[in-house]
Amino acid sequence: MERKNLWQTYSEAQIRELEEVNAQYRTCLDEGKTERECVKKTIELAEAEGYRNMKDLIKAGTKIHAGDKVYMDYMGKAIVLFQAGTAPVEEGMNILGAHIDSPRIDVKQNPLYENEGLAYLDTHYYGGVKKYQWLSIPLALHGVIVKKNGEKVEVCVGEKETDPVLVINDLLPHLGARQREKLAKDFIDGEQMDLLIGNRPEDKEENAVTRRIKNLLKERYDVEEEDFLSAELEIVPAGKARDCGLDNSMILAYGQDDRVCAFTSLFAILRAEEVARTSCCLLVDKEEIGSTGASGMTSRFFENAVAEYVLLNEGVEYNDIVLRRTLANSKMLSSDVSAGFDPMYEDVYEKRNAAFLARGPVFNKYTGSGGKSGSNDANPEYIAQLRQIMEEAGVNFQTAELGRVDVGGGGTIAYLMSVYGMEVIDSGVAVLGMHAPWETTSKADVYEAVRCYEAKTSLQKRDAMGCGIPDFIASLFMYHVPVLCCSAGHR
Ligand code: MN
Ligand code: MN
């Protein structure tokens, strides 16, 4: 299969547009470094495009008609957007899904302590991280502290030029001889990964460094140490997304798994004009720890949101079978990042079935590991439809597996959506250094989704099964780009 280098296909005008899309993407990455921040940014962008909060419509008894745009967030950590189509809702939706949580280090519930004049926050890492990568780099603290009275205090330290940053220190090489003999997985113990946050005592008494920290917390956020009990504080690499490469061809940023798929999916749905089938964009939490929890994909929140959406449709008499048909007739691009081929680690890939940077969005018929275990295995009938849509939209794509057969593997949310009996395929964007504090993508891969959308020639086509599929899905698809990777499998 030929994989074109996207850069060799673009005109000057396309390159300019590519830079615009990537500038917007970088801004979204900078403002969305946690799942909560991503939901906030999504709502801001969606409302600017005329999306309304479904909760308000439900309260007011307002019905939805073709062309209406609505969203529903879930606990501020996951969100679903719908753009109503002209076709009956039970014909199904075109769904773009991705996750907005990323590997990171979380603060424990009782975190604050002092040892020999150094104040720390105790931590527990989140997702499949290589622990040693997080040592001795500037870190930022993002999240919320919720007080007993329900007041929510937002915290973000380490991102502004004038902010201090925080750090988890590594051992100096001079004293690291024994450490270096350890296996990488044991290189640093999870309990040694505490965040250094202070060194200046308040007074001459005992524990004066933590006392000063507590006073600062009181002064700046009006919180007590006890309030850590009900806080959700995430430690992420400090700093902005940057162009990467002497030729500015790539992006180096934190959390591109899976925000490169989430934000491109979002851009795509926000640009949609008229659609035949309902367009849906689903951005979920908790993928990196197995999609568990109320805001993760194993929760019923998506199904509940679709039920609410069906109920809001003017002229639709809601019942269980309408909801089931809506879900079963849907078609989804479940987007997550794919492991980009890295020549430095050639031996873990099988080149003919690997994803390459700047070769376009990636489709993964299956993910999983060790005999496709745990994978959603997309139907060739569906893949054939996607090939047709992509070709008509002039989009270059590639197919891949996550590494050599017996080397490892991964999984994403596709298999959880397949429980509804809908067509779904893993798709995504190729990433180098996935799950590292700083991950690399190609700006061409980010942009290719845009190209796909703009190449659309008509609003609706009929597929072989007789279901209307707007070209729009092709664009979505691109954006999503996808992936294969990660989550469940990474663990
Ligand atoms: Mn991942
Ligand atoms: Mn992922």
340 pLDDT above the threshold of 70: yes
CA–CA separation, 191 and 186 (whole Å): 11
Residue 278 confidence (pLDDT): 94
Across 118-129, average pLDDT: 97
The tokens for 359 are 């070769």
Query: Which ligand does the CA of 261 lie closest to?
Result: 2
Contact of 460 with 276, CB cutoff 8 Å? yes
In the reported structure, the alpha carbon of residue 376 is separated from the centroid of ligand 1 by a whole-number distance in angstroms of: 17
Across 430-435, average pLDDT: 96
Strand partners, 9: none
480 pLDDT above the threshold of 60: no
In the reported structure, the alpha carbon of residue 313 is separated from the centroid of ligand 2 by a whole-number distance in angstroms of: 33
Contact of 428 with 484, CB cutoff 8 Å? yes
Q: Determine if the peptide bond prior to 258 is cis (ω within 30°).
A: yes
473 pLDDT above the threshold of 90: no
Contact of 451 with 479, CB cutoff 8 Å? no
In the reported structure, the alpha carbon of residue 296 is separated from the centroid of ligand 1 by a whole-number distance in angstroms of: 14
Contact of 251 with 357, CB cutoff 8 Å? no
255 pLDDT above the threshold of 90: yes
* pLDDT over 70, % of the chain: 91
Residue 341 confidence (pLDDT): 97
Q: How far is CA 167 from the centre of its chain?
A: 25
Residue 371 confidence (pLDDT): 82
CA–CA separation, 357 and 450 (whole Å): 17
In the reported structure, the alpha carbon of residue 277 is separated from the centroid of ligand 2 by a whole-number distance in angstroms of: 27
In the reported structure, the alpha carbon of residue 336 is separated from the centroid of ligand 1 by a whole-number distance in angstroms of: 8
Dihedral of the CA atoms 356, 450, 267, 98 (nearest 10)? -30
In the reported structure, the alpha carbon of residue 125 is separated from the centroid of ligand 1 by a whole-number distance in angstroms of: 14
Query: Which ligand does the CA of 258 lie closest to?
Result: 2
| pTM exceeding 0.75 | yes
CA–CA separation, 321 and 426 (whole Å): 27
Query: Which ligand does the CA of 285 lie closest to?
Result: 2
Contact of 90 with 320, CB cutoff 8 Å? no
Strand partners, 461: 469
211 pLDDT above the threshold of 70: yes
Contact of 396 with 359, CB cutoff 8 Å? yes
Contact of 400 with 364, CB cutoff 8 Å? yes
Contact of 460 with 468, CB cutoff 8 Å? yes
Which pLDDT band holds residue 165 (cuts at 50, 70, 90)?
A: very high
Side-chain-facing half-sphere of 390: CA atoms under 13 Å: 23
In the reported structure, the alpha carbon of residue 269 is separated from the centroid of ligand 1 by a whole-number distance in angstroms of: 23
Q: Cα-flanking dihedrals φ and ψ of residue 64, to 5°?
A: -105, 140
* Residue pLDDT, tens place only, 376-428: 899 999 999 888 888 888 889 999 988 888 787 777 889 999 999 999 999 88
Question: Helix 12-31 to helix 256-271 angle, to the nearest 10 degrees?
Answer: 120
Question: Helix 301-312 to helix 320-328 angle, to the nearest 10 degrees?
Answer: 110
Average pLDDT, the chain: 90
Strand partners, 202: none
Across 97-113, average pLDDT: 97
Across 371-378, average pLDDT: 86
Q: How, if at all, do strands 430-431 and 409-410 pair? A: unpaired
In the reported structure, the alpha carbon of residue 173 is separated from the centroid of ligand 1 by a whole-number distance in angstroms of: 30
In the reported structure, the alpha carbon of residue 404 is separated from the centroid of ligand 2 by a whole-number distance in angstroms of: 19
CA–CA separation, 79 and 40 (whole Å): 10
* pLDDT over 90, % of the chain: 78
The tokens for 109 are 């519930």
Across 456-477, average pLDDT: 38
Dihedral of the CA atoms 230, 231, 232, 235 (nearest 10)? -150
**Lowest-pLDDT choice from 22-26, 200-204, 423-427, 466-470:** 466-470
Which pLDDT band holds residue 3 (cuts at 50, 70, 90)?
A: confident
381-382-383 Cα angle (round to 5) = 95
CA–CA separation, 54 and 37 (whole Å): 20
Query: Which ligand does the CA of 259 lie closest to?
Result: 2
Across 107-118, average pLDDT: 98
Nearest CA among 364, 356, 362, 322 for reference residue 340? 356
Residue 15 confidence (pLDDT): 94
466 pLDDT above the threshold of 70: no
All residues with CB under 5 Å from ion ligand 1: 257, 486-487
In the reported structure, the alpha carbon of residue 478 is separated from the centroid of ligand 2 by a whole-number distance in angstroms of: 16
Residue 232 confidence (pLDDT): 98
Residues 6 or more apart whose CB falls under 8 angstroms from that of 248 comprise 443
161 pLDDT above the threshold of 70: yes
In the reported structure, the alpha carbon of residue 103 is separated from the centroid of ligand 1 by a whole-number distance in angstroms of: 7
In the reported structure, the alpha carbon of residue 483 is separated from the centroid of ligand 2 by a whole-number distance in angstroms of: 8
Secondary structure of the chain as H, E, C letters: CCCCCHHHHCCHHHHHHHHHHHHHHHHHHHHCCCHHHHHHHHHHHHHHCCCEEHHHHHHHCCCECCCCEEEEEECCCEEEEEECCCCCHHHCEEEEEEECCCCEEEEEEEEEEEECCEEEEEEEEECCCCHHHHCCCCEEEEEEEECCCCCEEEEEECCCCCCCCEECCCCCHHHCHHHHCCCHHHCCCHHHCCEEEECCCCCCCCCHHHHHHHHHHHHHHCCCHHHHHHEEEEEEECCCCEEECCCCCEEEECCHHHHHHHHHHHHHHHHCCCCCCEEEEEEECCHHHCCCCCCCCCCCHHHHHHHHHHHHECCCCCCHHHHHHHHHCCEEEEECCEEECCHHHHHHCCHHHCECCCCCCEEECCCEECCCECCCCCCHHHHHHHHHHHHHHCCCCEECCCCCCCCCEECCCHHHHHHHCCEEEEEECEEECCCCCCEEEEHHHHHHHHHHHHCCCCCCEECCCCCEECCHHHHHHHHHCCCCCCHHHHC
In the reported structure, the alpha carbon of residue 423 is separated from the centroid of ligand 1 by a whole-number distance in angstroms of: 23
